[in-house]
Structure 1
Amino acid sequence: MSEREPLQGIPSMAEYYIQIIQAVQPEGPYDLGGYSLGGDIAYEVTRQLQEMGHKVNTIVMLDTLDSNALNALKNSDKDLILQTINVALISAMKQKSDEPPMLIHRDETNLELSDEVYLDELIELARSRGLTKTTAQIHKMIQKHLDIQKSYKLDEISISPLLYPEEVTCYYFRNQGGKVYGDLEPYASTVPNFSQAVDGSKYWGDWEREIPKLYMIDVDPSCHMTIFDEPNVYEKILKLCEKLYSKKAVSDRYLQNLIENLQLSGTGSKAPV
């Protein structure tokens, strides 16, 4: 969110992350992780690190969508405007009270308007619901968000094979319900059933194909977007990561038992792949 232009494409972003990682830890082995698109970037970081001669032990992916799913979820500018305004409303309301924010539903907006006029309309709606930023601040925030979302180049994403796939273990926390936006969809997309092509699909196919040691752990959030907002999900993710990355070494059998216990305690019954 700085004044700099965003990097273009996930490979460039991964290269930048590697510079930051190696400024702290010059040599591997490394352990990586990411939520949603962050998992795609973590995979690309892994791929590039292996090409540089470094070892990556683990990746923890939190409901990371593969290339096919990401290509199917390409947002329009109006989608991104609606998302950004509603995220700003959530942030503003969290600072003021515990009451849930009154988000802007797509049916309250006029999609026939130009993007500029559409944005002005949403700004006025947001102001009536407690957003206190100035018009200039909101315009700057929206433009930055559009630039960042476009910089990911989701329609160009392809997953390249790892140089040493057998060296990496991936722990994949899967949203058991399979909903991307769920009940939040009317506040994140201008198109009804926008995520229908991805909801309930096998959107982790790339990871099954590219990572032989993939462990699938089902969790049950309301949707993809709320994984970190629901304690029953967050606590199970935290429990595995605490054990996985504790200074005390743990055996593969111990981790296998832990995964099985997580699955038996309300997170699903999917066995490791």
Structure 2
Amino acid sequence: MTTVAALAPETTGAGTLLRAWRNRRNISQLDLALRADSSARHISFIETGRSRPSQEMVLRLAEHLDVPVRERNALLIAAGYAPVYPETPMDDPSMQALRTGMERLLTGYEPFPALVVDGMYNVQAANRGITMLLEGIDESLLRPPLNAMRITLHPGGLAPRIRNFLEWRGHLFAQMERQLALMRSSPLRALYDEVRHYPLPEGGREVACFGEHPPFALPMMIEHGGVVLSFISTIATFNTPMDVTVSELAVETFLPADPETVAQLRKLEP
């Protein structure tokens, strides 16, 4: 059964939260008012607590401020309304079509690696390309729930095999920091603090040399079977999600960055 996201009552008013989101987006009260078909005066009254916004107005402002779905529920609670976006477990029967679609997408991307992670970077689905890269890592990291950040950054995981580990590590930290700036999540903050304190693997201070022609995007250069594979990571999310769980899912695909990687992966196809 679909359940509504459980959020603790906010001690901060909706107006204060909306002002924080507006400032974060660098939008003036007038610009927000024009986008939301309101007035700068009304926006000002909402932000200062002189006027209580309607549920419709909270949702409208949140949409124009591109507030994450989970935080929209928090805004509604702060304004005195019930949250409207459910948070459905991935194993719920109503998610069957979504799970099937994701599995079909990942399978179609083989032999190249692809996976789906949730807002905590727990792996919800992965294809055989990912399974191939996980060969030989510490078994403790493969116990459910598999976490992509731990698997990648832990010295017992992929870290020792990533040739440009410092760059890739910095990229992942920046990604988590952007996410933390958009949502208040104690579990995500705890995960970030944990992985930041992982020791560097042997050779992990080395910086990869890309030669005369640097790649068009930062690759992940990982050794597998004595060969260095090079991938460019792309991330896709769902458009206009109406569920907290779905809003935080991300499909990450690893595009081969050079012909050598393509040829090597083709050789590994069953």
TM-score clears 0.5 = no
Q: Which has the higher helix share?
A: 1
Q: If you compute each CA radius of gyration, which structure gives the higher value, 1 or 2?
A: 2
TM-score interval w.r.t. the shorter chain?
A: under 0.3
TM-score by length of 1: 0.25
Higher relative contact order (CA 8 A, sep 6+): 1
